A and B are shown apart, each in its own frame.
Chain A
């Protein structure tokens, strides 16, 4: 493999990893901060992509689709938190799994009623439509590069909010010790709903941003859900930095696995996960339990 090909594959791996991070970040936030397992994360990823297709079809603008899709999903998240999810804080995981599994069914049926089951595609904004020539016969879509950049900015933004703002401080305190935070009069509960809705919005944002380079189809969230869980478990549950590391590891493993070990590429990421868990049972940046 020439140095140039290697570099291109490296780029492929990093780009895939960044997309995985984008989707998995919402899952790890909701899981880590609220203690809620959200199996419907993949379903909201799919819903985001359908929102993007729908809004883009009506307005012709990807930017509108992006803003509108995220806003719709955020509101949906608030509604769901208010009606269902807040009853589950502190309950055992089985109840959460049941609820979020139910949500998968509902979201899927809604998608069926609203958008049907055809395969759709979404056009990227015109100023990102071109491509860059990488080798003599291979070019790389500008949109993919922009997506990388966007994911990096978003990652920085999430870090900033959690580590440097008052809101982030409340979130961290609540995640550390919920009862003590409440006892100190910190409005942790009212923050919860925004964390949950934010998680849903991040899943949908992933679907929206991926829609121009992927396709919009009914089962698109299923594979993503599994991969997101692998990323979250690998990186350490609740750790955003861990999710970033986990996602990049998986992106690179998957890409180079397909190139060098095509026969076993499907199991490589799970082998990686098993190996990491043997070494660090709580994930790469997971908290050590006492």
Chain B
């Protein structure tokens, strides 16, 4: 879900949600204690004895607060499972609330990189904020792990060896839907989304997949972000009578669209498909209107693999809540970092070797097998899910080992 900001009209929300920066310095004490042990270590040993500084730049307030918290919890869960260490080093966490505000993103990022001098930054949910973070990370040569934002550019034209993504690209989760819908017998499809970066990237990827499979998109409907008055466009869909509809909306907009679509009776004659965000975290509010909607995403609520079962039960034990894709992406971000650090015995100075280890990493994520492409975007299975029993149940693998084409990414050493 990339640029899925809340409806923030001109006057309003960025200011409303602004509070004090919630920076907390945690867990430093444990790491510092090891320094006072009174021996004379060699220089690299000092570097490794100091705690690894991990900076979270996530939305801790605002519409995406729950997502930010889950990413944070997922990351910490992995670190706890490693005995509080990554690559053998104690970890000190720093937190900055990015509030999903792109205009404050550069300052927030500079605070972590410049003032706190963190070794690694983990963030964020909102694609606009993530773009600013990518720019600072490139300029300051800081390690960055993106645990959600799907904006194609981050592992496309703006790719860099030290920028990894533990989530997905907008292209990746929508392209496979093209073949799925064609295989289901749909030939003429209407797409609908908000007219902004994430929506356009997702619809374009779907269209690419659908055209390649032999289908045609007869109309691309769009409305200004973040408007939720869908009635006029729903009437148009009824008039166009396509075989099916592909939609990208998220959050409150996704709830309203799905309900309006069902209220207009269209769900009986024109099946609704979408990217996973159409029904992720929104099913309780959508209720029966969501039943039967099929979506593609790199995760499903009932994935039957050992890693997922273990993850869900330990996440529940730690937080008392049911883990979701955001928690998984945080968890995997830590797993990826641990792999890289372990390969160099915790020495961040040996970064080229560390990056090499991360890029060639292959591991079993709760989402399934996961590896990385040359632009550091995950290569992963994308699932076809259907809303049943109030959750997104996997019904098939839409496409195995989906690799984002990383368009515009210059070959990396």
Collect the chain B residues with CB atoms within 8 Å of residue A8's CB: 235
B241, CB-defined interface residue at 8 Å: yes
B235→A138 contact, CB < 8 A:
yes
Q: Mark A211-251, 1 if CB is under 8 A from B, else 0.
A: 00111011111110110000000000000000000000000
With the chains together, A154 CA to B268 CA distance in Å? 35
Interface residues of A in 12-27 (CB under 8 A from B): 12-13, 15-16
A37, CB-defined interface residue at 8 Å: no
A214→B256 contact, CB < 8 A:
yes
A137→B241 contact, CB < 8 A:
yes
Known: A16-B231, A222-B12; 17 extra A-B contacts, CB below 8 A, are A5-B239, A42-B12, A118-B285, A121-B259, A121-B287, A137-B241, A137-B265, A138-B266, A213-B259, A215-B255, A217-B6, A217-B252, A219-B7, A219-B9, A222-B11, A225-B9, A254-B229
Other-chain residue from A141, A223, A255 in contact with B9 (beta carbon distance below 8 A): A223
One of B204-212, B217-225, B317-325 contacting the partner: B217-225
Q: Mark A32-49, 1 if CB is under 8 A from B, else 0.
A: 000000010010000000
A61, CB-defined interface residue at 8 Å: no
17 A–B contacts, CB within 8 A, in A order:
A1-B239, A5-B235, A9-B232, A12-B235, A16-B229, A16-B231, A119-B282, A121-B259, A137-B269, A139-B265, A215-B285, A219-B6, A219-B7, A219-B63, A225-B9, A226-B11, A255-B232
B6→A218 contact, CB < 8 A:
yes
B252→A215 contact, CB < 8 A:
yes
Interface residues of A in 107-139 (CB under 8 A from B): 108, 117-121, 131, 133, 135, 137-139
With the chains together, A220 CA to B287 CA distance in Å? 20
B→A interface (CB under 8 Å): 6-13, 16-17, 62-63, 65-66, 195, 221-224, 226-229, 231-236, 238-239, 241, 251-252, 255-256, 259-260, 263-266, 268-270, 282, 284-287
**What's the nearest-Cβ distance from chain A to residue B330, in Å?**
19
Collect the chain A residues with CB atoms within 8 Å of residue B62's CB: 117
With the chains together, A274 CA to B287 CA distance in Å? 41
Collect the chain B residues with CB atoms within 8 Å of residue A140's CB: 264
One of A182-190, A191-199, A257-265 contacting the partner: A257-265
B222→A262 contact, CB < 8 A:
yes
A266, CB-defined interface residue at 8 Å: yes
A105, CB-defined interface residue at 8 Å: yes
**What's the nearest-Cβ distance from chain A to residue B332, in Å?**
25
**What's the nearest-Cβ distance from chain A to residue B309, in Å?**
26
**What's the nearest-Cβ distance from chain B to residue A151, in Å?**
15
A104, CB-defined interface residue at 8 Å: yes
With the chains together, A135 CA to B251 CA distance in Å? 30
With the chains together, A12 CA to B231 CA distance in Å? 6
Smallest CB gap from A133: residue in B: B265
Q: Mark A74-104, 1 if CB is under 8 A from B, else 0.
A: 0000000000000000000000000000001
A131→B235 contact, CB < 8 A:
no
A9→B235 contact, CB < 8 A:
yes
With the chains together, A105 CA to B16 CA distance in Å? 6
Collect the chain B residues with CB atoms within 8 Å of residue A5's CB: 235, 239
Knowing A119-B251, A135-B238, say if A219 contacts B231 (CB, 8 Å): no
